[in-house]
A and B are shown apart, each in its own frame.
Chain A
Amino acid sequence: MPAKSIRAEYVKGLWQENPVFRQLLGMCPTLAVTGAVINGIAMGLATSFVLIFSSLVISSIKKLIPSQVRIACYVVIIATFVTMADRFLAAFFLPISKSLGPYVPLIVVNCIILGRQEAFSSKNSVGRSLIDALGMSSGFVLALLILSSIREILGSGTFLGHQVMGAWFKPWLIMIFPSGAFITLGILLACALFIESKAKQRR
């Protein structure tokens, strides 16, 4: 693999290898908690915290871990950070912790995190792993933000709890339901593929 510039390492997470739109990883929180923007952001940040710190720890001790037990080690390290995030939210951000419910502990099984450790942190330096984790986190937060904005605006007529649609607007209840999450994600994926294919043609 030719060494990429630091900038490219970060930017690839935003679009080229965006975890949600391009790699289709981490679908469970993406679909489940994006009914409201605040939940989407909180989930994105909690996942970012876990991803960044797991990448830091794992890339710095990668040489010590025998490859036979690497997955077990990764899972223990990831689970530690997830539990920390969960306790932190419960202690300082109770309403968010309540509305995210079981999805915070479920970050443990988020494929983005284990995927980045296996595909990147275990093979690259600490610095590069950090940049990669930052890029992937930003991409994930961005994706959740887009998805939850669409769902909250259409589903409740609000953005971050503030009324943005006029009184004429009748909220589309379906956008709050799981089916609304699938429909929105499907349309966004189609858009992403369309933009990508246009970009390829131009090249």
Chain B
Amino acid sequence: MNLSSRMVIVLTSVGLISGSFLASVGLLTKERIALNKQRETEAAIVTVVPGTTNSQIVYEEEGFTVYEGKEDNGNLAGFAIYASGTGFQGKITLMYGTDSSMTKIKFLTIIEQRETPGLGSKITDIEAFLRYWENKDMSSSLTLHKPAASSPEELAPTEVNTITGATISSEKVLEIINLSLERLRNLKKEGKLSSEEQDAS
């Protein structure tokens, strides 16, 4: 056999064998990976809309999903909004919950972030950042309180805290949330967030 046909045969068979191995590994792990992702989302929904036992998607587009969280007895517990955008160094993915009438933010949680460790990564810190997002007014855009406040009482209902040393990361989170709040308001106006409950009323 001449050299070039040997090269073709060897490379092709190496590729084919590797490919089939990968296909089987992909099949074996696919379900598990999807399940992980789903569990992660469910855990985040329960964190931001406490009392949720059952959730479903009411609106979905690229990088923006609205979930409706229901309590055990079928009452609407609130909505969970999944949003993502660019941070200081990479993508930030977050989720926040609202009350059932979508007037106030309940809780915020960061699902994924690649901010500077020790500085920007404080956006996942409850004490320094997340607790300042509780009970914020959703009717207009939120603003940052600078310099950093030391307790949530110092802030107006439309203000959230800045992290000392991580202004950009704080701004990026705010940007993602303000953008998603605007989308939410538009969706609400267009009546695209109609849930069963609203249909019934």
Chain A residues within 8 Å of B, Cβ to Cβ: 35, 64-66, 68-69, 72-73, 76-77, 79-80, 83-84, 87-88, 90-92, 94, 98, 101, 155, 171, 173, 176-177
Q: Across the interface, which residues of B come within 8 angstroms of A98, CB to CB?
A: 112
Asked if A176 contacts B29 (CB within 8 A), the reply is no
B183 within 8 A of partner (CB) = no
Stretch of B9-17, B145-153, B154-162, B174-182 that contacts chain A: B9-17
A66 and B10: CB pair below 8 A?
Answer: yes
Is the beta-carbon distance between A76 and B36 smaller than 8 angstroms? no
Question: With a CB–CB cut-off of 8 A, which chain A residues contact B15?
Answer: 76
Interface majority SS on A: helix, strand, loop or mixed? helix
Give the residue name and chain of the A residue nearest to B118 (CB). Answer: A173
Cβ of B114 within 8 Å of any chain A Cβ, yes or no, is yes
Knowing A83-B25, A87-B26, A90-B29 touch, does A76 contact B7 (C-beta < 8 A)?
no
B189 in the interface, Cβ–Cβ < 8 Å? no
Chain B residue nearest to A174 (CB atoms) is B118
Query: Of all chain A residues, which has the CB nearest B114?
Result: A101
Which residues of B are found within 8 Å of A76, using beta-carbon distances?
A: 11, 14-15, 18
CB of A88, distance to nearest CB on chain B (Å): 7
Q: In the assembled complex, how far is the CB of residue A26 from the closest CB belonging to chain B, in whole angstroms?
A: 22
Q: Is the CB of A68 within 8 A of B7?
A: yes
Interface residues on B, range: 20 to 34
CB distance from A34 to the nearest CB of B (A): 12
**Cβ contact within 8 Å between A79 and B18:** yes
Check A35/B3 contact, CB under 8 A, given A87-B33, A98-B112: no
- Bound-state CA distance A80–B40 (Å) is 28
CA A87 to CA B18, docked complex, whole Å:
15
Complex: chain A residue closest to B31, CB-CB: A91
Interface residues, chain B, with chain A CB atoms under 8 Å away: 3, 6-7, 10-11, 14-15, 18, 21-22, 25-26, 29, 32-33, 36, 40, 112, 114, 116-119
Q: Of A65, A66, A84, A91, which is within 8 A of B36 by CB? A: A91
In the complex, given contacts A84-B22, A155-B118, A177-B117, what are 15 additional A-B residue pairs having Cβ atoms less than 8 angstroms apart?
Answer: A68-B7, A73-B11, A73-B14, A76-B11, A76-B14, A76-B18, A83-B22, A84-B25, A87-B25, A90-B33, A92-B32, A94-B40, A101-B114, A177-B116, A177-B118
User: Could you tell me if B36 and A90 are in contact, using CB atoms closer than 8 angstroms?
Assistant: yes
Please give me the residue from chain A that is nearest to B117 by CB atom: A176
- Residues from chain A with a CB closer than 8 A to the CB of B29 are 87-88, 90-91
Assess whether A64 is in contact with B22, with CB atoms less than 8 Å apart.
no
Given contacts A87-B26, A91-B32, contact A66 B21 (CB under 8 A): no
Interchain nearest-CB distance for B73 vs A (Å):
32
Contacts of A68 in B (CB 8 A): 3, 7
- Identify 9 residue pairs between A and B in the complex whose beta-carbon atoms are under 8 Å apart, listed by A's number: A35-B117, A66-B7, A72-B11, A73-B10, A77-B14, A79-B18, A84-B22, A94-B36, A173-B119
Give the contacting residue for B11; candidates A69, A88, A155; CB below 8 A. Answer: A69
Q: Which residues of A have CB within 8 Å of B6?
A: 66
Complex Cα distance A69/B6, Å? Answer: 10
Q: How far is the CB of B42 from chain A (nearest CB, A)?
A: 14
Shortest distance from the beta carbon of B24 to any chain A beta carbon, whole Å: 10
- A101 proximity list for chain B (CB < 8 A): 114
Are A66's CB and B22's CB within 8 A? no
CA distance A73 to B36 in the complex (A): 33
Q: For residue A59, give the distance in angstroms from its CB to the closest CB of chain B.
A: 15
CA separation between A35 and B117, bound complex, in Å? 9
Say yes or no: A69-B118 contact (C-beta < 8 A), given A76-B14, A90-B33: no
Provide the bound-state CA to CA distance between A176 and B18, in Å: 37
A contact residues around B114 at 8 Å (CB): 101
